[in-house]
Structure 1
Amino acid sequence: MALAYAIVVGFAIVLLAIVGAAAEWVIAQAAFVADQPWTGPITWTLTAIAAVLALLLAAPLLFARLSPALRGVGTAWVTAAAIMAVFAASRLAPLPTDQVTLLLQAAGFAVIAIVGWFLGRRTGRARWTGQRRSPGAVGLGLCVGGLALLPWPFLSSLGDPADLAIGLVTAAAFAGCAGVVFGDRFWARFAESSTVVRVLGGGTAVAVGLVPLSGAVGATGVTLLPMLILPALGYAIAALVTRTDATGRIVAAVVGPAVAGPLLFTDADEFLPLVFGPEHTSWQPFAIGASIVIAWLAGAALTWQGRRWSAIPAVAAGCAIVVAAGVGAVYSFSQPGFHGEELFVVLDEQADLSGVEGTRTERLTIVHDRLKTTAERTQEPLRAELDRRGIAYTPMYLVNALRVDASILARDWIADRDDVRTVLVNPRNRPSRVTPAPITGHAMTDQPTVQPNIDQIGAPVAWERGVTGDGITIGIPDSGVDARHPALASAYRGGDDSWADPVNGTTSPIDPNGHGTHVAGIAVGSDGIGVAPDATWMGCANLPRNAGNPADYVECLQFMLAPYAPGEDPFSDGDPTRAPHIVSNSWGCPGIEGCAGDVFGQAIAAFDAAGVFFVVAAGNSGPACGSADTEPVGYPDAFAVGAVDGSDRVTSFSSRGPATVDGVQVSKPDIAAPGQDTAGGAGILSALPGDGYGRLPGTSMAAPHVAGVVALLWSADPELLGDPAATRELLRDTASPINEEGLTGCVDPESAAGAGIVDVAAALAARGLG
């Protein structure tokens, strides 16, 4: 009866632990999608409840009178569940602060390991009959753990040096903790059991216990990875332990390298597929699967011939060394180097942009000069200090800030400087061998026709009057643009200063995702998919693998204000007279990407002062009131666009206002445009990489409609050209009403769609051009 109960409890513990950790991960992602505050207290509570339930279920095994082995199993499971419940609190720190979480965990695991070792020394070590000394077993344990680690450096990459050091310390401390939980006292309870029972029974018990114990290590989401991998090592551990007296050391030797894989080669702020899609997590199933297969094979091999191998120290040590060298070699030929988070340091003084007057060219030049002069003067002391410390940095001027190649451990001393306003974590994507292919869509089989969303905003009326956007350039900072697409190739402005890629350094337009190509197609595409088919476009890649950061966003916007050729210096070589007339931004920077507070206010004010129209997507976190609150939506000079469907109804996903900037509520969005063809139906048809076409929904698709409308207006009316304020007022005054039928969530029409649906025909008529 007790054995049957143990089996049932084992299944329940595994289920509870994994469900608790998975729920924590999913809820955290849901909060990020909605750009809501960090859910650490809620998710920790759920994880703790799951762990406590597992503990209560295992507790009766402590009183299994007839089976010392079951009492040992119960003790280990209760201890592991208790550790999971307590250590989940380390994840109260919000992302992206993996280093803080791991440091807290490392300290706790080290305390458990040291106290456990000390108590073991005081009370003596229990042994079972027939156990013999086999020093090679520890080397084989390191070998097995190293083999389980091997897939991770092959598929992913390291963070920064601090990430590496903290990850290694945490892995070592966790290994010591596991060695205490499944050490001498645990295995002594199997002293009277046969080898088969020790390997199968003890291995199963270790596998089950490692699930909740693994739930204590790693940041939110990442903890699921060791929970899946480490249990598979239970039988390899048992096969080695039954032939040696080094019980705790064996457990630590196997577990340490294996847990280091996820800790060293995964960032929690990238492990969010609901937020960023599969771009970051598509490779991890391969690593998990390979690690599990290796663990099972190692367990089978050691059970079959483990006695012979564990008795030869030289072979075991050689195996461990070869595996360690193999890990290093694999990484050196995969994605070598350090790829950790950076800092985005915003200085206190920002350029004074008041009183800028003159022609568009004069205003662009004045704004550019003021921004550069302020940055060069005020950044000099901080640059000198960074140089003295040997810390690399990239200065910027659009926002007076620097991208600093340092971890969050350097944040405090920089933030304490009087000339610094704020220091943000600047998350950086780690390279991976496995990335999804871009969205490619399908061939356009029908004859070119005007898409209904283009007709919905009145663009064909403008075309009939010869207004097609000629002479206007739209900047597209996004995932990239496929410049060879037949609907976009002729619209590319060209020259050596129409493309920038601050992330990967490409020198000609590409789009590894598809989002940016789709956006560009709506703004300027031919074949009836674009609003302003004779306007031109220029681009910048700021969404690598569908995730950005403050520095990438600002660097692309800086390129838009004063373009420069690849390899040139933005400060000395940027030419503001080559700036686009309009910048269409179908991205937002939530907290998970590092944005907090006023990051883009200065940049948007600079574009407005220079006469560049700045369009932003309102976001896809609706229908709750206040969901249009992701930077840069809330700034007064950012023209925020919500989404409607083909029946003029606000879509459920379109973010609602008001937005809050510096504690002040601002009415957002400003206007709406098509972001979906029918209620609950497909998205807007536009270009996709590889000559394809496809449908995507979102306010990302609504924003380029408005950019295209401004291009039409400015090409038709020279008096409006370079006057964003007057253009914003005209668009609001001539917007058509939404269909309020079925309006859900924030039901105030203005908070849902601003002034209404953009209508270029009405705007032209209001200017006497209709």
Structure 2
Amino acid sequence: MSTDKRRDDSAPGCWQAILALALLLYLGVVPLGVTFLAERARSLVPAPGLLHAAALLITGGLLLTPAGVLLWLVHDRPAWRPLGSVAAAAALLTGYLLLDGLVRAAFLESTKPVLHGEGADAAAVRLALLLPYLWLAAGGAPRLVGLPAPRRRRAWLGLGRPDAALVLIALAIAALLTLPWPLTGALGDSITTLSILFQTLAAVLPNVLLLWGILFRLLTATFTRPWLAALTTISLAMLTASAAALPTADWQALADAVYLFPLAFLLTELRARGRTVYPLLPVAFLYRAMPLIFVDPRDALAQGIPEPEHILAHTVVLVTAALLGPVLWGGRWLWLSLRDRPSIPPAARLAAAGLAALILWALWGGGYLVFGEVGFANDGFLIIMEEQADLSDIAAIPDREERLQAAYDALVETAERTQPPIRAELNGLGVPYRPYYLINMIRVDGHRWLMPRFAKRPGVAQVLLNPNVREYPHRIPIPYTDGESPAEPLPPNLAAIHADEAWSLGVTGEGVVVAGQDTGYDWTHPALQPHYRGWDGITATHDYNWHDAWDDTAVPFDDDSHGTHTMGIVLGDDGLGHTIGVAPGARWMGCRNMRRGFGNPAAYTECMEFFLAPYPHGGDPFSDGDVRYAPHVINNSWGCPDFEGCRPDTLRPAVEALRAAGIMMVVSVGNDGPA
């Protein structure tokens, strides 16, 4: 009997390691596998909520069953306690993943980029669910592996007495890790920024308390080799990050897991140096929050990839984190290996750590103030008036200039008559604004919390959010081919529409002025400069020919190259045999309605308003507009999606007003679909 007992309690290290590794692999594969199958079954289950619930239940059953079996098998077998701690960690982590997945399923917006502050309610629910769960888990974790019940759960959560010097070291590390973001990014709306910070806290705090509080304490209490406990903690952190794909098929979680791997190593090293998780919190929080608040999420939404400078920033942060973890671990190992370690007074250690934190955060703040884009790019809103100008009789006017003037006068009169009460109230509040007449509306800059106030005013039809677009301090331009190309008889795109046949009939666009509103225009481009209405071959006159709805620049420029490209398609021709435009005989004028490729309803309207009655730089569109400079055609190779603030009918009044005035609007239908 005693022989059997010894055989049962013996724990061959190899078998225990194999079973623990198998359980960890299983823990990583099951959530992703269930999510993949649930995504494939989406067409069979019309109700997403039912599918998400089923995915969570199946995942819970598949994960808790083997963990429970292992806990039962190793119960009262102290030699198998390390394997039991891995099984207990798997069980506790499963509960965490199910609750977290429940929040993502109930609040689908929490799985999407935060554009305008949404998702804070999901973060509050996440904290309300996970923090009590972690409190219970801290009390139950030691019991699962046969350890004494904790007298203080705070200790198992890693919330004991903090090491002030280590916290300061962590703050210094956080400053060093996040330094690229204030140098390459820019803050968005202040309310949205606060929402992102709260949501990041709701994600980071429970994660740190579970992994580096409860589970790290559990593993180090049962493993004989501390490095194995640390390695297991890192593995569990990676599995937790990747399992965030459950149940909504948010596969971005896999990329996040790769990005968080160096952080997991670094946090584990910081945890090994102290008894609490306090040093980990600022590092984990700022590591995850900084790219979210300094990078516009629309960059990836619209273009699929971040801007080059942010790819570089991500790389620098990733490499820095990957180096810091091993450096700190190696330094600690060397220090502990010294036989005669010098005694460092606590006060000296605290002072050195404080000085390091002060220097690095001063560098962070100084870099932001000197080289960064300081301040918030706050979202504003539009006050749309109920009364819009009646232009029903304008189309009957035969003379083009008289028709344009009649439209301009009617639009301005309506705006001047109906807007004064709203303008007076805004003046009284000291709020900056800009009135428009093409659509009878007022753009309010920032102060979006005033939206409900003006929505109730008499004469106001609706109030819409007008999202701002942040300006990055140091953009890395994407290189475009700018070399000489041989002259072609006719480019294939022009041949496809038989442009040469129209030219042979004398239809080249001569006498027509085409206006373009886009990311801007490189007016000195050889294919565009000869056709710019403001260029006479010697001098340039940009008044009445160029307007910048974002930065009010006096000279045309293009910050994204797209506008230059589109105008080239319209009329590009350098006179040396490089004809790339459909109407090489036309002239052009331009307006910048986008910043970094993003616009908003106000900017789009402002450019259309400028085209109806162009005005000089710095002029008043209500009094200085001159319809004699209005174009015949407006080219629009852009769209206004909902994340830019547009609804399907937001810009309709502006388009209809231009059409009534006799200006033709040409709009692209997109870049996809059948040819």
Q: Bin the TM-score by the shorter chain.
A: 0.7 to 0.9
1:610 counterpart = 2:637: no
Give, in whole Å, the separation in 2 of the partners of 1:406 and 1:489: 37
- Note closer, same or farther for the CA distance 1:91–1:460 as it changes in structure 2 (3 Å cut): same
2:234 to 183, 186, 203: 203
Question: Equivalent residue for 1:339?
Answer: 377
Within the candidate set 61, 85, 91, 1:69 is matched to 85
Look up the equivalent residue of 1:300 and give its one-letter code.
P
Q: Match of 1:516, as an amino acid?
A: G
TM-score (norm 2): 0.78
Answering whether residue 567 of structure 2 is matched by residue 520 of structure 1, we say yes
Specify the alignment match of 1:622 in structure 2.
673
Change (3 A) 1:192 1:455: closer
Secondary structure of the equivalent of 2:665? strand
Corresponding residue for residue 501 of structure 1: 548
Distance change >3 Å, CA 17–CA 590, structure 1 → 2: farther
Residue 607 of structure 1: how far off its partner (Å) = 1.4
Query: What residue in structure 2 maps to residue 151 of structure 1?
Result: 180
**2:311 pairs with one of 285, 301, 323:** 285
Q: Deviations over 1:712-746 (max 9, x none)?
A: xxxxxxxxxxxxxxxxxxxxxxxxxxxxxxxxxxx
Find 1:253's aligned residue among 263, 277, 282. 282
Q: After TM superposition, give the deviation of residue 492 of structure 1 in Å.
A: 0.5
Which residue, 419, 441, 463 being the options, matches 1:423? 463
Decide which of 300, 303, 322 is 1:271's aligned counterpart. 300
CA offsets 1:668-688 (integer angstroms, 9 cap, x no match): xxxxxxxxxxxxxxxxxxxxx
Map of 1:739 onto structure 2: none
In structure 2, the partner of 1:125 is 153
- As a proportion of its length, which structure holds more helix? 2
CA distance in 1, matches of 2:67, 2:231: 18
The C-alpha deviation readout for 1:49-83, integer Å capped at 9, x for no partner, is 48974884476335443324313431453244224
1:352 to 390, 395, 403: 390
Q: Tell me the distance in 2 between the aligned counterparts of 1:543 and 1:4.
A: 57
Contact 1:482–1:511 (CA<8 Å) still a contact in 2? yes
Give the Å deviation of 1:589.
Answer: 1.9
User: SS at 1:336's partner residue?
Assistant: strand
Query: How far apart in 1 are the matches of 2:482 and 2:252?
Result: 33
AA in 1 matched with 2:132: V
| Residue 289 of structure 1, CA deviation | 2.3
Deviation at 1:491, TM superposition (A): 0.9
1:60 and 2:60 are equivalent in the alignment: no
Are 2:108 and 1:108 aligned?
no
Alignment pair present for 1:163 and 2:192: yes
User: How far 1:46 sits from its partner (Å)?
Assistant: 7.2
Partner of residue 646 from structure 2, selected from 585, 595, 600: 595
After the TM superposition, which of the residue ranges 525-534 and 301-310 deviates more from structure 2? 301-310
- Cα gap change, 1:102/1:436 in structure 2, threshold over 3 Å: closer, same or farther? farther
How far does the alpha carbon of each residue in 1:457-489 deviate from its partner, in whole angstroms, 9 at most, with x for none?
554445445443332211111222222222221
> What are the Cα deviations for residues 315-365 of structure 1, in whole angstroms up to 9, with x where unaligned?
333333433333322322222221243333322221111212252111111
Unaligned runs of 5+ in 1: 26-39, 624-650, 652-770
Counterpart Cα distance in 2 of 1:478 and 1:492: 16
CA distance in 2, matches of 1:404, 1:47: 43
Tell me which residue corresponds to 1:401: 441
Distance 1:511-1:49 versus aligned 2 partners, 3 A rule: farther
* Superposed counterparts of 1:707-722, under 5 Å: none
Correspondence 1:437 to 2:478: yes
C-alpha deviations, 1:148-207, integer Å up to 9, x for none?
Answer: 322222221111221232233333333322233235432331224333233333333334
Aligned partner letter, 2:268 = A
The structure 2 residue matched to 1:236, chosen from 246, 249, 266, is 266
Kindly provide the amino acid, as one letter, of the partner of residue 70 in structure 1. V
d(CA) in 1 for partners of 2:304 and 2:227?
Answer: 45
Q: Are the aligned partners of 2:243 and 2:253 in contact in 1 as well (CA < 8 Å)?
A: no
The reply to whether residue 88 of structure 1 matches residue 117 of structure 2 is no
8 A Cα contact 1:393 1:404, kept in partner: yes
What SS class does the counterpart of residue 570 from structure 1 fall into?
Answer: coil
Distance 1:220 1:208, change over 3 A: closer
AA partner of residue 635 (structure 2): S
1:376 to 1:224, Cα distance in 2 relative to 1, 3 A: farther
Provide, for residues 211-253 of structure 1, a one-character-per-residue CA deviation record: whole Å limited to 9, x for no partner. 4469899x98987775443332222222222332223x23323
Post-superposition offset of 1:600: 1.9
Give, as a single letter, the amino acid of the residue that structure 1 aligns with 2:313. Answer: A
Q: 1:159 to 1:452 in 2, by over 3 A?
A: closer
After TM superposition, the structure 1 = structure 2 runs for residues 529-540 of structure 1, keeping only pairs within 5 Å, are: 529-540=580-591
Change (3 A) 1:44 1:345: farther
Match of 1:36 in 2: none
Counterpart amino acid of 1:240?
A: L
Matched with 1:636 is none
The answer to whether the 8 Å contact 1:221/1:268 transfers is no
Post-superposition CA distance 1:586-618 (Å, at most 9, x none): 222232332113222211221122111221112
Three-state SS of the structure 1 residue aligned to 2:300 is: coil
Aligned to 1:295: 321
**What whole-Å deviation, never above 9, does each CA across 1:418-477 have from its counterpart, x for those lacking one?**
43333333333333334442633542313x524454455554445445443332211111
Larger-Rg structure: 2
Change (3 A) 1:412 1:535: same
Question: In the TM superposition, what are the counterparts of 1:557-568 in structure 2 within 5 Å?
Answer: 557-568=608-619
Mapped contact 2:117–2:195 kept (Cα < 8 A): no
- The two structures have a TM-score, normalised by structure 1, of 0.69
Distance 2:430 2:58 in 1: 48
> C-alpha distance in 1, partners of 2:162/2:496?
81
1:51 and 1:154 mapped to 2: Cα distance?
45
- In structure 2, what residue type is equivalent to 1:276? Q
- The one-character-per-residue Cα deviations of 1:287-324 (angstroms, maximum 9, x if unpaired) are 33222222222222332334979963333333334333
Which residue is equivalent to 2:516? 476
Aligned counterpart in structure 1 of residue 558 of structure 2, from 511, 521, 524: 511
2:18 maps to a residue whose letter is A
Q: 1:101 to 1:214 in 2, by over 3 A?
A: farther
Aligned equivalents of 2:34 and 2:524: distance in 1?
48
Percentage identity across aligned positions? 31
What is the CA-CA distance between 1:23 and the residue it aligns to?
A: 12
Counterpart Cα distance in 2 of 1:310 and 1:408: 53
Task: Give distance in 2, aligned partners of 1:501 and 1:232.
Answer: 44
What letter corresponds to residue 188 of structure 1 in structure 2? R
Alpha-carbon deviation of 1:255? 1.4
Q: Does the C-alpha gap of structure 1 residues 599 and 435 become closer, same or farther in structure 2, counting only changes over 3 Å?
A: farther
CA contact (8 A) 1:344 1:404 kept: yes
Residues 469, 211 of structure 1: CA spacing in aligned structure 2 closer, same or farther, 3 A cutoff?
A: closer
The alignment partner of 2:443 has SS state of strand
Aligned to 1:546: 597
The one-letter amino acid of 1:560's match is F
